[in-house]
Structure 1
Amino acid sequence: MPSSILAINGSERAGGNTDLAVAHAGRLIAARGGELQTIFLRDHRIAPCSPCGNCNSRLVPCELTDDMPALIERMRAADGILYAAPVHGFGLAHLMQIFIERAGVGYLRFDRPLANKVGGVIVTGRRYSDSSAHNQIVNNLLLNRMILVGSGFPVLLRNTDSTPGLNDVEGLDALERMLHRMLDMIQLLHRHQRIVDGPVLPLRDLNERVPRPRRGEHTPHRGDIDNVH
């Protein structure tokens, strides 16, 4: 089964630097026998968070009606998630900002379905604040218990030209390294899952709202269950 990676493209601009980066990523993944599908957030109806004010207390998914549930299901089905977004106004582009807010608060926080999926980040920009935008997305991946692979350097693709283009040689090298490591990790997880016939990593502590055991109380581990006769 080929490795399946889903790209979340948070750029408003068709044919811009972020689109070019994701397309390049797709070619690199295909060369390894993997598959990249892309969600262009600009093509979907995603409402910003409303003033309902109960996000921190509700126990069911968000009730706003838009395309978010279908997008979340596509994320659930993928082996890995590649987040790609440009820098706007010294921060994360608003499409990606709205998406990660709605996804996390409205859906992912209940059972953390992205836990143990492999994650990667691409940020495109002119010169400034790309590291800040990258750090924000990385923190979101960690919040969702994803597996973040390192490539030596963050994938920051810079272009000071007014014409979109992939001109950042070091950034492209970091992108290629990251994608290879994502695919390697996905394949490793697949092989191990076939051996143990179950999840490679235990899916415990997925919902931060569920009280954690007090000190001294026993939390069951996978081995405890496997060794019951």
Structure 2
Amino acid sequence: MGKNILVLTGSPRQGGNSDMLADAFIKGARAGGHTVAKFATAAKKIGGCRACEACWSKNTACSIQDDFAELEPLLESAATLVLASPLYWFGVSSHLKAAIDKFYAYTRPGCKRPLKIKESLLLICGADEGLGVFTGAIETYKGIVDYMKWQDKGILAVPSVSAKGAIVHTEALKQAEKLGAEI
């Protein structure tokens, strides 16, 4: 039986390198019999957590109304979460980070609809050479996985891709598709 997978993307550049990584993963996962939803955080208006402590007070995870409300049902039905982002200043994009910050509601007492997520993956790419620049993003991801008690199913970090489409000249798309097929 296939898994219900949610792929959250963070790139404001539609069809860019991290978006292509996400699509390759999705192709592999669907070929493996899984159900996959893709949610582009950069195409939405999602503000970060304001620490107002009003989670669930309006029967939604976040009481501040924005496009996170569109993400909630996808997030709440997913068994696997994939985070796909370009590397921005040693972390994921602010678009993706704002959505992740709102996961806070699901860790609070009184959470009305607990997450079913059991496993996750990180797909990330950047223009800089070498893998060292990904340390901040990877360690943050590992911290999230540990805190949420998810199982890490893989990290694919791809350096040296800047121009839109540059990722096609690497093995990364094949690797992402393989991760999807094997999830």
TM-score (norm 2): 0.79
For 1:159, the equivalent position in structure 2 comes to 160
| 1:132 equivalent in alignment to 2:131 | no
Give the drift of 1:116: 5.1
For 2:145, the equivalent position in structure 1 comes to 141
For 1:108, the equivalent position in structure 2 comes to 106
For 1:14, the equivalent position in structure 2 comes to 14
Corresponding letter in the other structure for 1:147: Q
For 1:39, the equivalent position in structure 2 comes to 39
**Quick check: 2:6–2:36 contact (8 Å CA) kept in 1?**
yes
TM-score (norm 1): 0.65
Instruction: Give ranges in structure 1 of 5+ residues lacking alignment.
Output: 183-229
- Please give the alpha-carbon distance, in whole angstroms, between the structure 1 residues aligned to 2:47 and 2:55: 18
**Quick check: 2:25–2:178 contact (8 Å CA) kept in 1?**
no
CA deviation profile, 1:90-133 (whole Å, cap 9, x unmatched): 332111111111222xx211248335522111111112622321
Secondary structure at 1:12 match in 2: coil
**Identical-residue share of aligned pairs (%):** 19
Moved over 6 A (4+): none
Corresponding letter in the other structure for 1:75: L
Secondary structure at 2:7 match in 1: strand
For 1:195, the equivalent position in structure 2 comes to none
**Quick check: 2:26–2:177 contact (8 Å CA) kept in 1?**
no
CA deviation profile, 1:50-97 (whole Å, cap 9, x unmatched): 3xx544x97854321112233122111122111111111233211111
**Quick check: 2:81–2:117 contact (8 Å CA) kept in 1?**
no
Corresponding letter in the other structure for 2:107: R
For 1:82, the equivalent position in structure 2 comes to 82
CA deviation profile, 1:4-41 (whole Å, cap 9, x unmatched): 21100011111111111111111111221223210001
**Quick check: 1:126–1:159 contact (8 Å CA) kept in 2?**
yes
Gap change, CA 1:177 and 1:114, over 3 Å in 2: farther
Gap change, CA 1:156 and 1:117, over 3 Å in 2: same
Corresponding letter in the other structure for 1:49: C
**Quick check: 1:131–1:156 contact (8 Å CA) kept in 2?**
no
**Quick check: 1:116–1:147 contact (8 Å CA) kept in 2?**
no
Give the aligned CA root-mean-square deviation in angstroms: 2.6
* Matches for 1:134-213 after TM superposition, within 5 Å: 134-150=138-154, 154-166=155-167, 167-169=169-171, 171-172=172-173, 174-182=175-183
**Quick check: 1:157–1:172 contact (8 Å CA) kept in 2?**
no
The number of aligned residues is 173
Give the drift of 1:181: 4.3
| 1:66 equivalent in alignment to 2:66 | yes
Gap change, CA 1:21 and 1:2, over 3 Å in 2: same
Instruction: Give ranges in structure 2 of 5+ residues lacking alignment.
Output: none
Gap change, CA 1:25 and 1:178, over 3 Å in 2: closer
Gap change, CA 1:13 and 1:161, over 3 Å in 2: closer
